[in-house]
Structure 1
Amino acid sequence: MSLTRGDNNNESAKSTVSTGKAPKLLSEAFAGELDLLRLQSNQLNQLFDVMPAGVVIIDGDGIIVKTNNVANNLLGAELLKKAWIDVITSAFKPRADDGHEVSLNDGRRVKLDISSFGSQAGQLILITDLTETRLLQDKLSHMQRLSALGRMVSTLAHQIRTPLSAAMLYCSNLSSKALSAEKRQNFQDKLTSRLQDLEQQVNDMLLFAKSGGKQVVEVFSVTALLNDAISGVEAQINEANAQLNLAIDDQNLNILGNQNALEGALQNLIHNSIQVINQQAIIDVHAYRKEQSIYIHVKDNGCGIDETEVENIFEPFYTSKVQGTGLGLAVVKSVAKAHHGDVSLVSKQGEGADFCIKLPIFNTEKDK
């Protein structure tokens, strides 16, 4: 019996020791887990502070609960516990030409990316300073235009000399008193034609020089843009016995940009069709909206463009015409790019050419 009692005592002692170790092991496990969480938290905070973009976290009530130094420097104040709507009012100063960016009070431009936390209330706002990037892009664009203009000078020197010499010759012939009325009219028509060539070349040069630079921007309707552009080339359309058909699917489409520059680009496309076809051209201009973009097609019934030329058609100084600077379509592309858009061409030999300018739509507050 004593042996049995002793065995029971030993089992009880082992159980007591085992039970005593459990809380200690759990405590050590929790301590290790806590240390790991602290380490991860410190690492996240360090990453948060060294991010090149500003970060703002707001709770479900729109109150700022966390920021990094970049956000504080960009927005110019201590942001914690402030309402995000108040920060927008005090730190941001939107301008008409902001586009997809937003201007701050000090003139810097930033991009805002906002994301939610899923099922958890609140939002994360990422603020990227694009000021230096835009300055570098402007400088690069300026240098590229200077380089292109340098090449243009030598090209234009020859191309302007030819119609200018012809115009001077026609002027000389017109001074003859013995000239018949029929010949006088013939020389006048030729003189006018040569002067129009000169005007087109100078216009191309000016548009190309200006297209990449800063322009005065405003909101205007696609309807006004197309009507004004067509009105500007109406005389050329009539002279060439051309037919122009205009279709605008939505009369309420608006664009933010420089209307004069876009008019010049569209007139270049229309003028190009008239020149290629020469007489009785049929030109279809069609504008419509697709998602958040506006598409403007200028399609003609000409002989089309060979596939080998399509790749280079928008390059400066590339031309297959006897007379021309090779800048007309380069101007169109440059203007479209300056408006955060693009231009494309669909054409096959014998099937005409279909140019399409794609531009971002400007949403009014009602649309938003």
Structure 2
Amino acid sequence: MLPNLALIPFALLYARKYRQANLHSKMLTMSLFLFVFIIVSTVRIALQVMAQPNAPLNEAVPVFALFFVFSLVAGSAVVFMIESIIDKHMLLFSLRQLSDSMPSSIVTVNRDGIITSVNRAFLHEYPLVADIPVVGRHFRVVTDLYGVDYRQTMLFRALAGEETRNAVVDYPEHCLLINAYPLRSPATGDIEGAISISRDITEVRELREKIDGLDRLSLVGQMAASVAHEIRNPMTSIRGFVQLMSERDRDSDHSHHGYYPIILEELDRVNGIIEDFLSLSRNRVVHKEPLNLNALVEESLPLLWAEANMNGIEIKLGLPEQLPELSLDRKEMKQLLLNLTHNAFEAMDRGGTLTLRTEADETAVYLRVSDTGCGMPREMMDRLFQPFFTTKQKGTGLGLAVCKNIVDRHNGRLDVRSEPGQGTTFTVVLPLK
């Protein structure tokens, strides 16, 4: 009895740490405790045999030695078994963590098609089964929910011994890249199950299609830019001759003399369209300098007042006295301001109020151009900055696209807020750094 009581301090020593220990420490503590228990029990039995009055010493010693050797062998076997269980458990735990951390969807089934494991990505990829305990159920639970024939799946083919590598499968709402393999017994080579690894490549496919489209558009854009550049040269000559003829016929009484201003105006308009197109299609070199947005607005005010007076529009300013300087391209920023204000004038037709405001915070400087025009619906705003999209009868659809390019070249952002019948506000966000 006393030897067994000797185990109590040992047990108390590990009791407090046992609660906070991980599985490996718990199993190791149990194995050591069991090993010591066997040793102590063996010693106790040997001492009991030796304590018998009539037991000779030459008989007690072999019994003690036999029990001691048996205890060592049994204790070692128990410790080995426990350590093997611990190693297998830790391996399974590591594999489970690895599986859950992978972005690909993984599902395994046994030879009967019963699901044995799934990872987190599988539940994310198939949300209809996220709340269903699928492990232990047939894989048809998944295929039936998504309207897929189980016998047409790669997993079913893998159970028949067929391997699938990088198969692209299109579904109505997404596209999957699937790999499926049979799981064979290391001893016999028989198929004991199958594993399917898939990944949603819908976004990758869409991006690839967009890139292909952009490549084609880039080629067309380069060709169109070359054509536009070649067209501009003869148009410059035509304008020069028209202007020369206009000056020669200034004092004459020809009835066609009034046509010259119209021709010159239309040639200037075509030249402006070509300039916008070339500005949109090429990567221009930006010449930046320290510039205050308030100064830029004040420089442009004479032009804005003139156009506003012709259309009966009032201009309101909100320019704070202190505004941080930014590194900007003066020419491009003036073009940006004039394009935005011109759009605002056209949206208000005749009458209304144009508001120009600047402000700053710790991260950026803001330029807001607001009008009281007709506003725009949401579906129009989604396409607002697309080249050649316009709702105007004589518009080219390049003005806002050019504005967007200018802001992008200054590492800024161009936002728009509009409500039908309540006007529109364009906000240019230019970062301080």
Q: TM-score, normalised by structure 2?
A: 0.43
Larger Rg: 2
RCO comparison, higher one (Cα < 8 Å, 6+) = 1
Q: Which has the higher helix share?
A: 2
TM-score, normalisation: structure 1: 0.49
